[in-house]
Amino acid sequence: MTAAELLAALFPSGHSVREEGGLLFGTGPAAGGEVAVVGTSGGLEVGVESALALSAFVLEVARRHPGRPLLSLLDSRGQRMSRRDEILGLAGYLAHLSRAVEVTRRRGHRVIAVVYGEASSGSALALGFLADEVHAVAGARISVMNLPAMARVTKIPLDRLEEASRGSPVLAPGLESYVRLGGVESIWQPPFSKALAEALARPPGPDRRSERGQERGGRLLALSVRERVREGEP
């Protein structure tokens, strides 16, 4: 699904979202008023400039439009991999974006993310996964790394990885895995405008992804370990 198709489905009555060099900025109308839209398109790999531009938009929403919900739309293959980005401190730019989203949320903005293309690594962490709720549309792809590359890096034979990934949401790349692990709340069904309205209507809450992972049988330890540590169990 392209950004334009998604936007048209989200905002059937029209929107003002611009797509510039793989970045999405703008607003669209929703039930309770305007929604700020920020995101990436075309699988954009997020480097220092894009991260700063995304942060600028998010901070602007927080400063100028108190309470306006933030919708982040994600199609990104990950962070941009280059020596220049690392020299300039990409970790800091992505962390800045993360903090911007977090502070916006804490100032009372609802934050919803929708993965409509790819999502991976650095950009997923900084933009998408910080939302109150992460949703996806059918056909979206979320992964850390494809299996052949994983086989090379881990030196585990590919056939063994393929076998292990069968039925294992922990290893198998793809959307279904993230749903089972609790990382993706739901896969939206059309009409998306309705799905968006419902998401915006729900009250915000703490990070419930490990609960979801437990309920859906994808992550059987994360929740209990987290809770036991939070209780300070010796």
Partner 1 sequence: MTGPARSFREATARRRLEGVLDPGSFREILGPAHRLTSPHLAALDLPVSFDDGAVVGSGLLGGRPVLAAAQEGGFMGGGVGEVHGAKLAGLLGLAERQPWAGVLLLLDSGGVRLQEANAGLLAVSEVMRAVLSARAASVPVVALVGGGWGCFGGMGIVARCCDAIAMSEEGRLGVTGPDVLETTKGVEELDASDRAAVWRTYGGKHRYLLGEADRLIEDDLSAFREAAMELLSARRDLGLEELEREHRHLGRRLEEFGGCADARDVWRAAGVEDPDRLPGLEPADFRAAVRAARRGDR
Region 186-205 residues binding partner 1, contact defined as CB under 8 A? none
Residue closer to partner 1, measured from CB, 13 or 205: 205
> Partners of 112 in the beta sheet?
71, 133
Please state the φ and ψ torsions of residue 224, each to the nearest 5 degrees: -65, -40
Count of residues touching partner 1 (by CB under 8 A):
83
State which of positions 110-139 bind partner 1 (CB under 8 A). 121-122, 124-126, 129-130
Residue closer to partner 1, measured from CB, 60 or 197: 60
Region from 11-19, 29-37, 192-200, 224-232 binding partner 1, contact rule CB under 8 A:
224-232
Pairing of strands 33-40, 23-30: antiparallel
Round to whole Å and give the CA distance between 186 and 134.
8
Closest contact distance (angstroms) between CB of 210 and partner 1 is 7
Closest contact distance (angstroms) between CB of 215 and partner 1 is 14
Length of the chain measured in residues: 234
Round to whole Å and give the CA distance between 52 and 23.
11
Round to whole Å and give the CA distance between 100 and 50.
14
Closest contact distance (angstroms) between CB of 49 and partner 1 is 7
Residue closer to partner 1, measured from CB, 12 or 157: 157
CB 141 within 8 A of CB 184: no
State which of positions 18-47 bind partner 1 (CB under 8 A). none
**C-alpha dihedral sign at 198, 203, 209, 211:** negative
State which of positions 139-178 bind partner 1 (CB under 8 A). 142-145, 150, 152-154, 156, 160-161, 164, 168-173, 177-178
